[in-house]
Chains A and B, each alone.
Chain A
């Protein structure tokens, strides 16, 4: 139990589908993050939310749409994805020390 829960753990979708990834943290943290992890590539920061406000968007394509309704929940809405978007999507949260607490990840496959 890491304190950060991601659902679903696995998702297969076609390029025309719309789906969402969900992340919930039970640690009382104020910041939440989405990272993308592709094979043979370093972790890529996608979005940062601090106190529900988006503070960073690392040039992510608009087919990825984040939503942070409160400090405990973070969503990543997906639509018209490409096969190269297949990856492990990791959610994390942090408090004052900057240390990240990660979820188990959502493995996305785009057909």
Chain B
């Protein structure tokens, strides 16, 4: 089925470890996003990309890096994990222009990350 696929679904890290979350979409969307979801805080934008080879900072970028080497993939990296990065991470994608308003974002099912 077409959509956004996130891997892994669950992960436990020790403080200081690194990891990469992978997001893949097969809808040929230009825009991709990484959000984190925390209780009582809703979704906050970490980084986003408006096209292959481009990335930009969102609301809470510190401690994260991203790359978009291919249009269909958007990677989120944690270089040195901290307990404050314990969260559920969602990737999303959207088309450009008015189609984004018509169809909205397509979200992946999330990655639950625990940093101990």
A is bound by B: no
* Chain A residues within CB distance 8 Å of chain B: none
